[in-house]
Amino acid sequence: MEKDLYTLAKDKALEYFEKAHIVLTEKEKNEVEVADFGLGDLYQTGLESVVYINTDNCCAKEMVLFPYQTCPEHIHPPIGDHYPGKEETFRVRMGTVYLYVEGDPVSNPKAIIPKNSEKFYTVFHEITLQAGEQYTLYPGTKHWFQAGSEGAVVSEFSTHCYDEYDIFTNPAIKRIPDIIN
């Protein structure tokens, strides 16, 4: 990702955090992570986040999704003998999020499936989360999510986050962003 785009997206994310009254330190503001998942189409497929804590046991972060921005379909696999895969709870703080998991599919998803990536979206059990609502994903549940028209701010509470092990349905995705400084 080009530095200019990073800076633009970071500043936009900070506006969402401010609107949601999420207080961040200057250090956190400077370290907002912007991920385009290596697809080079950030506003369609991307995620902005601030990681508060990620110990061996607990992870908590705050995320921003711009309007219709999608965190693409993935699963958190078991790692080694002792880690069954990440468990995560999403709690929406502002806006609306459409979350899709395995299970009975809806016929008309409210989210707009990212263009030219339709075949990499395979689960369509729809959960709509408004501000104040939350959903817990246990290990081994394929999922993806998208913000509604106003964008969204979402807290994530989870077990240790090993982003580098996530398995995306789209094999072209690279989770760890290259930021050109």
Q: Which residues bind a second copy (CB under 8 A)?
A: 20-21, 23-25, 28, 52-53, 55, 57-58, 60, 87, 89, 91, 93-94, 131-134, 136, 155, 157-159
82 or 115: CB nearest a second copy: 82
CA distance 170 to 181: 27
CA distance 91 to 129: 8
The least CB distance from residue 170 to a second copy, in Å, is 28
74 or 86: CB nearest a second copy: 86
Helix (H, G, I), strand (E, B) or coil at 68: coil
User: How far, CA to CA in Å, does 98 sit from each of 83, 106, 108, 167?
Assistant: 28, 12, 12, 20
How many other C-beta atoms can be found within 10 angstroms of the C-beta atom of residue 83?
Answer: 16
- What DSSP element (H or E) covers 7? helix 3-19
The least CB distance from residue 181 to a second copy, in Å, is 25
The least CB distance from residue 171 to a second copy, in Å, is 29
Q: Which amino acid is at 52?
A: Y
The least CB distance from residue 164 to a second copy, in Å, is 20
71 or 153: CB nearest a second copy: 153
87 or 102: CB nearest a second copy: 87
Query: Burial level of 139, CB count in 10 A (0-12/13-18/19+)?
Result: middle
5 or 24: CB nearest a second copy: 24
The least CB distance from residue 140 to a second copy, in Å, is 14
